[in-house]
Amino acid sequence: MLNLYGAQFTSRLLLGTAHYPSPECLRQAVEASGAEIVTVSLRRESARSRTGQGFWGLIEELGCRVLPNTAGCRTAKEAIATANMARELFGTSWIKLEVIANDDTLQPDLFGLVEAATVLSAEGFEVLPYTTEDLSAAERLVAAGCAVLMPWAAPIGSARGLINRDALKTLRAYFPGTPLIIDAGIGTPSHAAEAMEMGYDAVLLNTAVAKAADPVKMGLAFAKAVEAGRLAFEAGLIEPRDMASPSTPVAGTPFFKIDHAS
């Protein structure tokens, strides 16, 4: 079971709700994925005039837990204000905290992120911060009160997969008891499976499913990949070797001497 701030979930796949070709496609993709948590951007949905009863009604019908996020915020002050609006609108203290530093990479502003996380945690929010694989930033976020971390695999929407595997492995090893969710940059089900094989607790993605030729099939594919990766981690992966290791033992194998003179 996935345990986040005391709430338990069967699925280890979280989905975003943006960019789908239609509300019906979104509904079917979420159902196919088995996701129990969906993220919603207060700013993005407001900008697209999708805050009507139809969209929110769909989210409620899905029966998923809503994880509001502060996407689009460039400062800690903006993120704090957006989080408070989201708590009032959705009636939840959960917030996916984003403070963006760069328009090209959408990399988190780690200084603003820690500042906002400190304030929001003190105000009773349960913060899930979108961060990088930076270890020092992770330490500060945990010290600020974050019981969950969401490091990126690669820049948002880039579909590049795990571009800094060594750092992500170090982060996992350094915080063995903290739920870690890979967020952003996942492009294929194999990327998600790899993250889960490393011991990450869950994967959050949006673009890879929403912009697929068939979002419903892709949602199902990611569900299977996340499950397979988790099972592999729990089963215990063998260590890679530089040299071959025969799968069939040679001990006890009969050898016959050939007499070339005969």
Catalytic positions, please? 96
- Which string of DSSP letters, residue by residue, matches the chain? -EEETTEEES--EEEE-SS-S-HHHHHHHHHHHT-SEEEEEHHHHHHTT--SHHHHHHHHHHTPEEEEE-TT--SHHHHHHHHHHHHHHH--SEEEE--B--TTT--B-HHHHHHHHHHHHHTT-EEEEEE-S-HHHHHHHHHTT-S-BEE-SSSTT-----S-HHHHHHHHHH-TTS-BEEES---SHHHHHHHHHTT-SEEEESHHHHTSSSHHHHHHHHHHHHHHHHHHHHH-PPPP-SS---SS--TT-------TT-
**Alpha-carbon distance 122 to 198, whole Å?**
32
